[in-house]
A and B are shown apart, each in its own frame.
Chain A
Amino acid sequence: MTEQIKFYRDKHLSFIESLDTKTEDYEYWLSEHLRINGVYWGLTALCCLKASDKFKKKDVIEFVLSCWDKENGSFAPFKGHDAHLLSTLSAVQILAIYDSISVLSPEMVDSIVKFVTSNQLEDGSFQGDEFGEVDTRFTYNALSTLSILGKLTPQVVDPAVSYIKNCYNFDGGFGLCPGAESHSAQAFTCVGALAIVGKLEETLTKQQLDDLGWWLCERQVDNGGLNGRPSKLPDVCYSWWVLSTLAIIGKLDWINFPKLHSFILKSQDPQKGGISDRPGNEVDVYHTCFGIAGLSLMGVEDLEPIDPVYCMPFYITKKFLKYK
């Protein structure tokens, strides 16, 4: 590294710790629909920083349980909101990180499984909830949730895999549904989902994996950052979506590490900590999490190694039941 910018570890810690104290900001109240996701992002960043004790485990678990939506039988992003696959995965991830899946009664686990599987459609895709939005993000949410709970079955997995296959594009990337343009985040959700169910090699040929690696490494632009699609601006969150996918397919080193490292460091706020989408912009917990997780994948800044498939520390995911 020739860059002089340092990694503001302590400032990031205090930024993440301060997130739940911003009640005097209007934006805090406008973001309730993302609260449980925000807790997962904050906690994952803390895990990478080897400081997960900065959040009070008891309070966090209490918060997660307060998000239970009785009517729909799964987790909402906030108390009194509706369950969704996005918030369901975040809830289960947080509990897994705290080694606390056991706080869920067997009835609750059954109910989550039912919620997830009832949102699978005939073509193998998943809708986020009963209102019909379909996206390969939800496929990932569903398979990851079931995997963490040890509840994957061929009835769910096989059609899901064939749907993912239909989202593969001629350029080597994946779209949010069949026919949609390739997008880096969708590469992660599709390839991550295939990896969770152990079907990466049997679904994609060596040529297709090479093409995917090619498409992904072309996301790096001259300033070192990664973009989500051709001719778009780089954004720190793609440090995760692109890099994790490259890691899963064994081509992590196909992009330039020092330049991406420097791009992420330049996107830090040196005063109050946290990381933004690109240098000079306002920071948030989402980009802080994925920036730090990206640094962890590159093995720099002495961070806890993170599992590219689950976006959780390896010391947690190694305990998950492998689906065969």
Chain B
Amino acid sequence: MHGIKRKNFTQELIKQKKLKDQAKIKYYRELNNQLLIAYKTNHKYDLESFKLTSIILDLNPELNVAWNFRRKIILNYFLQNTDSNVAFDWNQELNFTMLQLKRYPKVYWIWNHRTWCLRYVNDIQMWQNELHLVDKMLAVDARNFHGWTYRRYVVSQLKKNEPSNSDLLNETEFDYTTVKINKDISNFSAWHQRASLFPGKLSQLQGYSAKLELIKNEISYLTNAIFTDAEDQSVWIYLKWFITDATIVGILQTGEGGDGYLNVLKQFEDSIQIINNDEIEFSGKDNNWCLKILIVIQTIFFDKLQVEKGGRTDDRRIMLEKLVEVDPLRKNRYLYLLK
């Protein structure tokens, strides 16, 4: 049970609930027995059994055995029947699961059933409809991971159906993450998706300067994001990925006489220091995510790039000691890194 408030029932209320439940239990158990007998004992694959699964799934969408029976009826009855009067209406089936998903957007079995159906339908118009549906689902709950997983699946199927459209789809999906992030900068589901799409978007571009321009645009988008909300970890996790991703680093390293990557890191370091200084001025304390990412940047400087220190100091130990103070929940991680 997730997110159900505890009620402190009085004895009287418990009595009333039990009385009310009696009738519901009787009805549900009768249907349940009918279903299991029709399925397991009689293998009764017909319209009547199909309707029975609809009724019971309406009461309990978690009843996996009813979904299984329903699928077997579709396979062994509807799809075997050559009489066009009983031709199976997949749209109606999709509609049934859509109504269920609206009521229960987090039930795995319903998503599973929908995916199962689509394998049998598989036409381009339908996949496009699915993309609209998942748009609506993610508009209601922008973090529903079933929705995001389903979205990736739908897009992969659209690409399979029309490979020539792949680049365009990558483009629109990337823009979709921008829309979601602009609406809520803490939507890590969207940041995650952005990180998986960005390298593909880079490889689509021809020529060094076009690629570099895309990277520069992303840098300013990110810089803007950390200035907007320096408390939220989503953007920082993305930033950490962005400055270490092999494709991005490779492109940056070939520019500016080999210093392109170093310059970008320095640029981020400066921005993060400004944000942290503002925070110190405002609250008297360091921003812990600023420190965490500054440490990542310094680790790249000193351990990976082995830049000449010339005037630059390695502050990692000092920052870790500060983190022990400002982020005590994770104190032991910092002590581990200090060792």
Contact A29 B29 (CB under 8 A): yes
- Chain B nearest CB: distance from A230 CB in Å? 4
Nearest residue, chain B, Cβ from A31: B62
Nearest residue, chain B, Cβ from A269: B6
Pick from B29, B187, B196, B328: contact of A256, CB under 8 Å: B328
Chain B neighbourhood of A34, CB < 8 A: 62
User: Which residues 303-339 of B sit at the A interface, judged by CB distance below 8 A?
Assistant: 328-333, 336
- Map CB proximity to B onto A219-256 as digits: 1 under 8 Å, 0 otherwise: 01010000001111001000000000000000101111
- Chain A nearest CB: distance from B323 CB in Å? 12
Q: Is B81 an interface residue (CB 8 A)?
A: no
Contact B6 A218 (CB under 8 A): no
Contact B333 A254 (CB under 8 A): yes
Q: Is B140 an interface residue (CB 8 A)?
A: no
Contact B71 A230 (CB under 8 A): no
Contact A80 B145 (CB under 8 A): no
Complex: A107 Cα to B64 Cα, angstroms: 26
Complex: A30 Cα to B58 Cα, angstroms: 12
User: Which residues 11-31 of A sit at the B interface, judged by CB distance below 8 A?
Assistant: 24-26, 29-31
Chain B neighbourhood of A220, CB < 8 A: 329-330
Q: Is A271 an interface residue (CB 8 A)?
A: yes
Question: With A230-B233, A235-B2, A255-B329 given, is the CB distance from A24 to B18 under 8 Å?
Answer: yes
User: Which residues 248-279 of A sit at the B interface, judged by CB distance below 8 A?
Assistant: 251, 253-256, 259, 269, 271, 276-277
Complex: A232 Cα to B142 Cα, angstroms: 12
Q: Is B152 an interface residue (CB 8 A)?
A: yes
Chain B neighbourhood of A162, CB < 8 A: none
Contact A277 B2 (CB under 8 A): yes
Nearest residue, chain B, Cβ from A137: B108
Question: With A24-B18, A29-B25, A254-B332 given, is the CB distance from A169 to B4 under 8 Å?
Answer: no
Contact A180 B152 (CB under 8 A): yes
Chain B neighbourhood of A169, CB < 8 A: 192
Contact B65 A281 (CB under 8 A): no
Complex: A170 Cα to B244 Cα, angstroms: 10
Chain B neighbourhood of A77, CB < 8 A: 64
Question: With A180-B145, A180-B148, A231-B233 given, is the CB distance from A29 to B108 under 8 Å?
Answer: no
Complex: A80 Cα to B64 Cα, angstroms: 12
Question: With A24-B18, A255-B330 given, is the CB distance from A170 to B188 under 8 Å?
Answer: no
Complex: A277 Cα to B195 Cα, angstroms: 31
Complex: A85 Cα to B317 Cα, angstroms: 48
Chain B neighbourhood of A213, CB < 8 A: 333
Contact A181 B148 (CB under 8 A): yes
- Chain B nearest CB: distance from A14 CB in Å? 17
Complex: A277 Cα to B2 Cα, angstroms: 6
- Chain B nearest CB: distance from A260 CB in Å? 9
Complex: A286 Cα to B329 Cα, angstroms: 26
Q: Is A82 an interface residue (CB 8 A)?
A: yes
Contact A282 B6 (CB under 8 A): yes
Question: With A232-B143, A280-B5 given, is the CB distance from A256 to B188 under 8 Å?
Answer: no
Pick from A29, A176, A281: contact of B1, CB under 8 Å: A281
Question: With A29-B28, A170-B245, A180-B149 given, is the CB distance from A132 to B119 under 8 Å?
Answer: yes
- Chain A nearest CB: distance from B180 CB in Å? 13
Question: With A231-B188, A256-B331, A277-B2 given, is the CB distance from A218 to B65 under 8 Å?
Answer: no
Contact B6 A276 (CB under 8 A): yes
Chain A neighbourhood of B62, CB < 8 A: 30-31, 33-34
Complex: A202 Cα to B25 Cα, angstroms: 52
Contact B145 A181 (CB under 8 A): yes
Question: With A132-B116, A251-B336 given, is the CB distance from A218 to B152 under 8 Å?
Answer: no
Question: With A26-B25, A277-B1, A281-B6 given, is the CB distance from A176 to B149 under 8 Å?
Answer: yes
User: Which residues 7-21 of B sit at the A interface, judged by CB distance below 8 A?
Assistant: 7-8, 17-18, 21
Listed in ascending order, the chain B residues whose CB lies under 8 Å from chain A are 1-8, 17-18, 21-22, 24-25, 28-29, 32, 36, 40, 59-60, 62-65, 67-68, 71, 108, 112, 115-116, 119, 143, 145, 148-149, 152, 186-189, 192-193, 195-196, 232-234, 237, 240-241, 245, 328-333, 336
In addition to A176-B145, A282-B6, 19 A-B residue pairs with Cβ atoms within 8 Å of each other are A25-B18, A25-B21, A26-B28, A81-B36, A82-B68, A133-B115, A180-B145, A180-B149, A180-B152, A181-B145, A181-B148, A183-B145, A215-B237, A217-B330, A229-B145, A256-B328, A256-B330, A277-B3, A281-B6
- Could you list 11 examples of A-B contacts with CB < 8 Å? A24-B22, A180-B145, A181-B192, A220-B329, A222-B329, A230-B234, A254-B330, A256-B331, A277-B3, A280-B5, A282-B1
Listed in ascending order, the chain A residues whose CB lies under 8 Å from chain B are 24-26, 29-34, 71, 76-77, 80-82, 84, 129, 131-133, 169-171, 176-177, 179-183, 213-215, 217-218, 220, 222, 229-232, 235, 251, 253-256, 259, 269, 271, 276-277, 280-284, 286-287
